[in-house]
Amino acid sequence: MLRDRVQVLGHSPAAPDAVWAVLRAFCGLWHPLMTGIAAERDEQGGLIRAFTVQGEDTIYRERLTWYSDSDRSLGYTHLEGIAGVTDYDARVTVSPAEGGGSAISWNAEISARAARIDQIREGTRAVFEVGIAALACPDLLPIARPEPLQVASLPQLEERSIDALPRLALTTAGQGDRLCLFLHGIGGNRGNWAGQVPVAGQHMQAAALDLRGYGGSGFGPQQSTVDDYCDDILRVMQVLGARRLVLVGLSYGSWIATSFAMRHPDLLDGLVLSGGCTGMSEAGPEEREAFRLSREVPLDAGQTPRDFAPAVVKVLAGPDASPEVRQQLFDSMAAIPSATYRDALTCFTNPLERFDFARLTMPVLLMTGAHDRLAPPAEIRSVAGRIWDLSPRPDVRFEEIAGAGHLCNLERPETYNRHLADFLRRLP
């Protein structure tokens, strides 16, 4: 087998959003060489396009592996149709061009038999060139953007608890044997997800959990570990009658969600990670200890989370956060008992493993705010790329939420909910 790479660069006079409005429809019939196309789903809910081309009876199939509205990029892998190819992964990206219009980059990495590699490479180049030429055609552009999220008939929120050791407090909505479970950050509580639980409840049973020591949840008999949190998730699944799970985490909750995915990938239908992923799992001992000690200084001086909540809000909130959002962030932080904050810091800075992203075989959506200081877009985009590289069946989406800080679901709920609903809607 030989490997080769094809890259075609082009320009369109249309604005990037107009070009992307065409490209983002993975199963749209816009390429001049295509004569028919249909959308299919695999067993994980992955989107597949099955299409025919001019002068051939062959049906080609490609699966979407990467998607980002905010970066205007998508990637796909070839499943069938090209004779002699063993691996074929492509990606197309649209960005603003100097002087106006759009720069379009379309590339593919190919592995194929030696006798076929030249023909496949040149055929791929021709397909990309024809496609880019079509995207420069003013008659093709623009196509309407997607409809805004409809919020009518949202299910009602209900409060409940699981009385055991420890007691776990939940906010729930919706029904079904698949559960979308929301996990808050180190400075939050389950109330931070009030705007998302009913949205998820339109598609499946949904619940937001107070982690141990937060809100209405109690402590266990000893220092909390990530394995304890994973056990709590399993207990919630059992009590709520869920057979399958979608985890949605924010910051500390994203780290816990990924830790659960490392242990129980077979239970997950999807993973949504907001404002973080790896936590302290890739930090060295000195960095982890410095992180913990720096945040325990005010506690050791006799302060409570309420005392230093204003400083925390300044770090977490984006520059455009409303007074109402800032107040909600303050209230969440101020409500945390000092013992809970210490417990969470100790757990967070004592990770049990470095994550193996090859275990993430489920669809993954990563989101972060454009102004997130703790999980900046470049960092989370890089993590999304690593998951795409290492997963044996990548199905990865990355979104940067404009105008938002660390708690992107609170600052930009409409955008966050649209991405979340799109993700949940396409699960099998």
The separation between the first and the last C-alpha atoms of the chain, rounded to the nearest angstrom, is 35
Lowest model confidence (mean pLDDT) among 2-6, 147-151, 289-293, 343-347 = 147-151
d(CA 406, CA 412): 11
DSSP one-letter string for 239-260: HHT-SEEEEEEETHHHHHHHHH
Domain membership of residue 150 (yes or no) is no
Neighbours of 219 (CB within 10 A): 18
Note whether 241 and 374 are within 8 A (CB).
no
Give yes or no for residue 212 having a pLDDT over 90. yes
Do 169 and 120 fall into the same domain? Answer: no
Q: Which ranges of 59-160 would DSSP assign to H, the alpha helix?
A: 114-135
Tokens of 367: 């989101």
pLDDT of 291 reads 85
Tokens of 231: 């056990």
Residue 333 vs residues 58, 259, 326: alpha-carbon distances, Å: 59, 24, 11
d(CA 76, CA 95): 19
Note whether 261 and 247 are within 8 A (CB).
yes
Query: What is the average per-residue pLDDT within 152-179?
Result: 91
344 closest CA partner among 251, 233, 208: 251
Give yes or no for residue 151 having a pLDDT over 60. no
Domain membership of residue 248 (yes or no) is yes
Query: What is the average per-residue pLDDT within 227-249?
Result: 97
Q: Which ranges of 192-337 would DSSP assign to H, the alpha helix?
A: 197-201, 226-240, 252-263, 285-300, 305-316, 323-334
pLDDT of 279 reads 86
Do 117 and 215 fall into the same domain? Answer: no
Note whether 96 and 7 are within 8 A (CB).
no
Give yes or no for residue 148 having a pLDDT over 60. no
Lowest model confidence (mean pLDDT) among 84-98, 133-147, 159-173, 378-392 = 133-147
Give tens-digit pLDDT for 179-209: 999 999 999 999 999 999 999 999 999 999 9
Domain membership of residue 308 (yes or no) is yes
Note whether 249 and 257 are within 8 A (CB).
yes
Do 312 and 196 fall into the same domain? Answer: yes
Asked if residue 13 has a cis previous peptide bond (ω within 30° of 0), the answer is: no
- Domain with 208 in it: what CATH number? 3.40.50.1820
Do 201 and 87 fall into the same domain? Answer: no
**Residue 371 φ/ψ, nearest 5 degrees:** -110, 25
Note whether 21 and 34 are within 8 A (CB).
no
pLDDT band at 149 (very low <50, low <70, confident <90, very high): very low
Amino acid symbol at 279: G
Tokens of 122: 């040149």
Give tens-digit pLDDT for 303-360: 999 999 999 999 999 999 999 999 999 999 999 999 999 999 999 998 989 999 999 9
Give tens-digit pLDDT for 244-295: 999 999 999 999 999 999 999 999 999 999 999 998 888 888 888 888 888 8
Note whether 246 and 427 are within 8 A (CB).
yes
d(CA 416, CA 400): 10
Do 164 and 255 fall into the same domain? Answer: yes
Neighbours of 83 (CB within 10 A): 11
Domain membership of residue 146 (yes or no) is no
Host domain of residue 127: 2-135
pLDDT of 141 reads 59
Do 108 and 183 fall into the same domain? Answer: no
Residue 164 vs residues 167, 211, 224, 235, 245: alpha-carbon distances, Å: 5, 14, 16, 10, 22
Give yes or no for residue 147 having a pLDDT over 90. no
pLDDT band at 140 (very low <50, low <70, confident <90, very high): low
Give yes or no for residue 145 having a pLDDT over 50. no
Do 396 and 252 fall into the same domain? Answer: yes
Do 129 and 47 fall into the same domain? Answer: yes
pLDDT of 341 reads 95
Q: What is the pTM of this model?
A: 0.93
Amino acid symbol at 320: D
**Residue 110 φ/ψ, nearest 5 degrees:** -125, 135
**Residue 2 φ/ψ, nearest 5 degrees:** -115, 150
Lowest model confidence (mean pLDDT) among 66-70, 145-149, 396-400 = 145-149
Give tens-digit pLDDT for 28-61: 999 999 999 999 999 888 999 999 999 999 999 9
- Domain with 118 in it: what CATH number? 3.30.530.20
Give tens-digit pLDDT for 59-102: 999 999 999 999 999 999 999 999 999 999 999 999 999 999 99
Query: What is the average per-residue pLDDT within 14-23?
Result: 93
Domain membership of residue 143 (yes or no) is no
In this structure, what DSSP letter does residue 268 have? E
Number of domains in the chain: 2
Do 92 and 59 fall into the same domain? Answer: yes
Domain membership of residue 17 (yes or no) is yes
- Enumerate helices (H) and strands (E) in the chain, giving the number of each: 12, 15
Do 85 and 189 fall into the same domain? Answer: no
Burial zone of 284 (CB within 10 Å; 0-12 exposed, 13-18 middle, 19+ buried): exposed
Do 254 and 108 fall into the same domain? Answer: no
pLDDT band at 175 (very low <50, low <70, confident <90, very high): very high
Do 216 and 92 fall into the same domain? Answer: no
Domain membership of residue 179 (yes or no) is yes
**Residue 374 φ/ψ, nearest 5 degrees:** -85, -30
Domain membership of residue 144 (yes or no) is no
